[in-house]
Every structure is written in C-alpha cells, then in structure tokens.
Structure 1
Amino acid sequence: MNLFSLFQQTLETTLPVFAMVFIGLGLRKIDWIDERFVHTASALVFKATLPTLVFFSIIKADLSTSLNPRLLAFYLLATLASFALAWLWARWRVAREDRSVYVQGAFRGNCGIVGLALAANLYGDFGLSAGSILLGLVIISYNALSVIVLAAYQPGRSAQWRRILQDILRNPLILSVFAAIPVAWLNLQLPEWVMTSGDYFASLTLPLALLCIGATVSLNALRSDSSTAVSSSLLKMVMLPALCTGAAWVVGFSGAELGLLFLFFASPTAAASFVMAKAFGGNDRLAANIIAITTLMASITVTLGVFVLKGAGLI
C-alpha cells in the first residue's frame, strides 16, 4: 500500500468522527441547534444512550479478548504518570491560580465519546467492547485525579470527597460496565427484541454526542486565549500521547491494543473538565479554551498519529 492510499484509509477512519463535530459547530453557528438542545441531548447521552451502548458492546463481546488486565493496568499507570508529569510542569511554568485547570486539561481526555467513536471506526466491535471496558477505568481515574488537583489549589473544597466518591459510584457508565460484565461472563442471552431495541437506542449516542461537542466549541473564546491554554493543549494532544504510546510499544503492545491505547491517549480534553473547574472555583474560561483548542487540534493530531502508526505497521 502506497502512502497516498494509506493516508486516504486513515482519513476514512478519522474524518467521519470529526466531520460530525464540525457539523455541530456549524449548526450552532446558524442557530439550528441552541444551548437548550445541547443541554438536553448531552444529558440524554450521558444518562441513557451511552450507558446503553457500553452495556450492549460488552455483552456482545468476547471477554477473553476484550477484557485485558494488562492493558487496563498499563492505561492506569500511564494516566498516573501523565497526571504527575503535567503537574510537575505546571508547578514550574504556570501561575498558581491556573495550575489545577492546566493539569486537568492536559491529562483528562474525552475517551467516552471521541475515543470510543474512533475505536469503533478503526476496530469495529472489538474497539467498542474493549473501549467500553477501558472506559470504566477511565471514568474512575479521571474523576479522582481531577478532584485531587482541583482540591489542592482550592482549600475548603476537600470536604466534598464523600459526595464525589458517591457520584463516581453512581455514574451511569460505571453502572453499565458493572451490569454488563457478569451478563457477558455468564453468556446470558437476552431476548432478540431487547437486543434490537437496544441497538436502535444505542446508535443515537455517537452522532448526537459529537454534534453536541461541536456545538459547545466557542471560537470567540479562542480569540481571548492565553499561552497557558495553548501550552496545556500541546501537552494533551502532542507530548503525552507520543510519550504514552511510545511507552506502550516499548513494553510490547501492538496491533489493535496499541491503536486503542493511542486513540484514548490522544482524545481531546473532556467537556466535564469545564464543569469540575467551575464547581471548584477554578479558571473556567481557561478550561473552556483548552477544550476548544484540543477539540480543533484533534482532527489533525489524531489523523497524523493513526497515519504514522499504520505506516510503521504498528497498528
């Protein structure tokens, strides 16, 4: 396969995902969708359609290949290392009042939507099932680490730990993973009409969520941005994905596993980081700018990353 054909194949994987994001941006610009729609649709995705997608992806999966403790352990260690590296860099180069938002923006990726959508495009059912299981670990680790760094720079907020832990344990995505694994492990067969209806409902998830991501990107916010947001975005989209994916290759990951790890590492900053920054009294404008910049960068960095890894025969 020549380079042009390889690049064309790469675009066929990444463009459908990012096209939906830019369509959402355009629809918001011409007022075909508004903030109320985004709020309602986002709640529907988070509370219902995405948990349904995760549940059905897992119960249809072969857990002997999708449930990989080694992959889960590596992702957790890489996440902790990324978090520590971002925090060390922030202590050296970032003003104290912006450090918590900077760190959260640099390590917390939108794996639940963008990462999962890219994994599904690139690896089909395996990408969905293995990505869904990995997503359970992502939700717990990202939320816990975000609370740690936000609380560290916001004295008086640490008393919320119990409520935060309860919120994590009640997270619909976590519950869907916990519900699905025993069903898949015991090979329980659900009625055909339940499977079909579930597939219909779950199919709403990715296009609706990607439209909402695009609709929340604020180009106006980018015009008032500072170098802090750009620095956090470069760390999130270039440096950390390169380091973590390189480390994964060195320890022996390859093929679909390496590709899945890269897509999760390279996902743009999660929109939830804005909500948590605001709740802890952080610089919410900086958080919004990081989300916008990384979302726009992802269409280029993820495409180039997949192209390079495919060209090298690693995924």
Structure 2
Amino acid sequence: MNLLDLFTQTLDITLPVFAMVFLGIGLKRLGWIDRAFVSTASALVFKATLPTLIFLSLIKADIGVALDIPMMLFFALATFCQFVLSWLWACYRIPYAERGIYVQGAFRGNCGVVGLALAAGMYGNYGLSAGSLLVGVVIVMYNALSVVVLATYQPGQATNWKSILKHIATNPLIISVVVALPFTALSISLPSWVMTSGDYFASLTLPLALICIGATLSMSSIRDKSDVALSSSLMKMAVLPVLSTAAAWLAGFDGERLGLLFLFFASPTAAASFVMVKAMGGNAALAANIIAITTLMASISITLGIFALRLLGWV
C-alpha cells in the first residue's frame, strides 16, 4: 500500500467525525439550529442516547476481549500522569489565576463523544465496547482531578468530595457501564424488538452530539488571542498524546489496543470543562477558547497521528 492509499484510508476514519462538527458550525451560522436546540439535544445525548449506546455496545461485546484490565489500568495511570505533568508545567509557565483552567483544558479529553465516535469508525463494535469501559474509568478521574485543580486556584473554593462522589454516582454514562456488565458477564439476552428499538435510539448519539459540539464553537472566541489557551491546546493535542502513546507502545500495547488508546489520548478538550469552570466562578472565556481551539486542531492532529502510527506499523 502506498502513502496516498494509507492517507486516504486514514481520512475515511477521521473525516466523517469532523465533517459532522463542521456541519454543526454551518447549521448554527445559517440559523437552522439555535442555543435552545443545542442545550436540549446535548441533554438528550448525555442523559439518554449515549448511555443507551454504551449499554448496547457492552451487552453485544465479548467481555473477554472488551474487558482489558491492563489497558484500563494503563489508561488510568497515563491520565493521572498527564494531569501531573500539565500541573507542573503550569506552575512554571502560566499565571497563577489561570493555572487550574490550563491544567483541566490540557488533560481532560472529550472521550465520551469524539473518542467513541473515532473508535467506532476505526474498530467498529470492539472500539465502542472497549472504549465504553475506558470512558467509565476516566469519567471518575476527570471529575475528581478537575475539581481539585480548579479549587486550588479559585479563591473561596474548596474541594467538595461529597459533591464529587454524588456527580460520579449519578453520572448516566457510568451507570450504563455498571448496568451493562451483569448482562454481558451472564450472557443475558434482550428481546430482538428491544435491541432494534435501542439501536434506532442509540444511532442518534454520535451525529447529534458532534453537531452540538460544532454549534457551540465560538469563532470570535478563537479570534481572541490567548497565549494561555494556545499553550493548553498544544499540550492537549500534541505533547501529551505523543508522550502517552509512545509510553503505551513501550509498555507493549500495539494494534487495536494502541490505536484505541491514541484516539482517547488525542481527543479534544471536553465541553464539560467549560461547565465546571463556570460553576466554580473561573475564567469561562478561557475555558471556551481552549475547547474551540482543540476541537478544530483535532481534525488535523488526529488524522496525522493515525497516519503516522499506521506508517510505523504500530496499529
């Protein structure tokens, strides 16, 4: 296979995902969707369609393949190391008041939507099922670590562990993983009409979520120069994915496992980071800027990353 064919195959994986993001930008510009639509659709995705997608992908999965404990442990360790590295860098290079937002933007990825969409496009049901378990692991870490670092640099804020535990326990994505595991482990089957209806409902998830991401991007926010936002974005989309993926390869991961890890490491900053910053009284504009920059960068950086990994023969 020549380089052009290899690059074309790579585009076949990434372009459908990011085309939906840019479609969201276009629909918002045309006025065909508005803020109310985005708010309602995002809530529907988070509370219903995405948990359904995760649940169905897990009960269809071969648990012996999807439940990869070494990969889950490595992903958790790598996420924590990304958090620490980002914080150490912020202590030396970033103004005190913006450090918490910088760190959250640099390590907190949009694995639940962009990561899963790319995993599904690249590895099909294996990508969805194994990726769903990784999402369940990382949601717990993202929420806890984000609150810690934001509270550290926001005056008057304290780390409320009771609130963190409540949000984790009631997170629909985590609940869907927990509920699905007994069905998978015990090979409990659901009626075919339930599975078909569920598939119809779950199929709304990825296009709707990606369109909402595009519709929430602010071009004016991107045009506002911010060295801190750019630095956090480069850390999120270039430095940390390269270091983490290289570490995964050195640890013995390859093929589908390495590809899945890369897609999750390279996912742009999660939209939830903006919500958390705003709730804690931080610089919400900076958080929004990081989300916008990383989302647009992802279409290029993830495509080049997959191409490079395939060229090296690692995935």
The size of the alignment, in residue pairs, is: 315
Q: Is the 8 A contact 2:147 2:159 kept in 1?
A: no
C-alpha change, 1:159 and 1:108, in structure 2 (3 Å) is closer
Q: What is the CA-CA distance between 1:191 and the residue it aligns to?
A: 0.6
User: Which residue matches 1:167?
Assistant: 167
Query: Which residue of the partner structure matches residue 266 of structure 2?
Result: 266
Q: CA deviation at 1:280?
A: 1.1
Stretch moving more, 148-157 or 123-132 = 148-157
TM-score (norm 2): 0.99
What is the alpha-carbon distance in structure 2 between the residues aligned to residue 232 and residue 60 of structure 1? 38
SS of structure 1 residue aligned to 2:43: helix
- Distance in 2 separating the partners of 1:133 and 1:195: 20
Amino acid at match of 1:158: A
Residues 178-197 of structure 1: pairs in structure 2 closer than 5 A: 178-197=178-197
SS at match of 2:120: helix
Counterpart residue number, 2:23: 23
Greater CA drift, 42-51 or 217-226: 217-226
For 1:233-285, what per-residue CA distance to the aligned partner results, in whole angstroms no more than 9, with x for missing partners?
00000000000000000010000000000000000000000000111111110
> Cα offset for 1:188?
0.3
The amino acid that maps onto 1:237 is: M
Structure 2 counterpart of 1:206: 206
Counterpart of 2:94, as a letter, is: V
- Give the 5 Å matches for 1:48-63: 48-63=48-63
Secondary structure at the counterpart of residue 252 of structure 2: coil
Counterpart in 2 of 1:289? 289
Cα contact 1:109–1:264 (8 A) shared by 2? yes
* Cα deviation, residue 311, structure 1: 1.1
| Residues 137 and 187 (structure 1), Cα distance of their counterparts in 2 relative to 1, 3 Å cut | same
The amino acid of 1:183's aligned partner reads: F
Map 1:220-235 onto structure 2 (within 5 A): 220-235=220-235
Deviation, structure 1 residue 313: 1.0
Which residue matches 1:34?
Answer: 34
Deviations 1:104-162 (A, max 9, x none): 00000000000000000000010000001111001101111101101111244325321
In 1, distance between residues paired with 2:195 and 2:222?
Answer: 43
Equivalence for 1:110? 110
Q: Normalising by structure 1, what TM-score?
A: 0.99
- Residues 118 and 263, structure 2, Cα contact 8 Å, conserved in 1: yes
In structure 2, how many angstroms separate the alpha carbons of the residues matched to 1:272 and 1:200?
A: 26
Deviating above 4 A after TM superposition, structure 1's stretches of 4 or more consecutive aligned residues are none
Give the letter for the 1:114 counterpart: V
Tell me the equivalent position of 1:246.
246
How far did 1:218 drift? 0.3
Distance between the aligned counterparts of 1:305 and 1:163, measured in 2? 37
Tell me which residue corresponds to 1:91: 91
* Whole-Å separation in 1 of the counterparts to 2:46 and 2:32: 22
CA–CA separation in structure 2 for the residues paired with 1:64 and 1:164: 31
RMSD: 0.7
Answer yes or no: is the 8 Å Cα contact 1:225–1:289 preserved in 2: no
Aligned mates of 1:86, 1:54 — CA distance in 2: 30
Which stretches in structure 2 are left out of the alignment for 5+ residues? none
User: Aligned partners of 1:50 and 1:193: how far apart in 2?
Assistant: 19
What are the within-5 Å matches in structure 2 for residues 59-138 of structure 1? 59-138=59-138
- Do 2:120 and 2:127's aligned partners in 1 also have CA atoms closer than 8 Å? yes
Identity of aligned residues (%): 65
Amino acid of the residue matched to residue 259 of structure 2?
G
Matched to 1:217, the amino acid is L
Which amino acid letter does the alignment assign opposite residue 52 of structure 1? Answer: T
| Cα distance in structure 2, aligned partners of 1:60 and 1:141 | 26
CA distance in 1, matches of 2:293, 2:224: 12
Per-residue Cα deviation, 1:181-216 (whole angstroms, up to 9, x for no partner)? 111000001111110001000000000000000000
Secondary structure at the residue paired with 2:160? helix
